[in-house]
Amino acid sequence: MPEKHVPKETCQSRKQHPSIAVYPGTFDPITNGHIDIIKRALQLFDKIIIVIAINVEKKPLFTLEERIDMINTCFANSSDCIEVDMTDGLIVDYTISKNAKAIVRGLRAVSDFDYEFQLALMNRKLERRVETVFLMTGFRWIFISSSIIKDAAKHNGDVSGVVPAHVKAALKKKFS
């Protein structure tokens, strides 16, 4: 007799209710590492909501509107499965408000895991209906972060290949 691991009604409800995940970050700016995580998350979920998390302790280089525009440009042909939004509240509350079931987090190195694990545990304590899904950044993006890219661009470093062309142009404009 076959084992019942997943109730049949759960599988059927997925067809009627697409799976949604939230991918939070400051995206200041969006990088090819972020894009890699989003593309791979779309293999697991029907829709990804890229949510710019407003953190008053951070002083972003780009305005909220500029970051939204940069992200939308990256996914201009994917509006049916990508949404861009912002929040200044708790990500778990935002996730529930969007009927999403998961928070996607990208990991570059073991050093990221400690912080991300603590965050996932707190989110789980706050809202048990929300899962955290960790995706390892593709090996070719493992060394990049928005901060490192901004620093390189600020000092006239070539950031080709680590950000989309329109983001590279926006960085050049900011630092000229």
* Residues designated catalytic: 34, 58, 108, 146
CA pseudo-torsion sign 163, 92, 11, 6: positive
Q: Residue 70 is encoded by which pair of tokens?
A: 């940069």
**Cα(163)–Cα(54) distance, integer angstroms:** 21
**Cα(168)–Cα(165) distance, integer angstroms:** 5
Q: Is 79 helix (H, G, I), strand (E, B) or coil?
A: coil
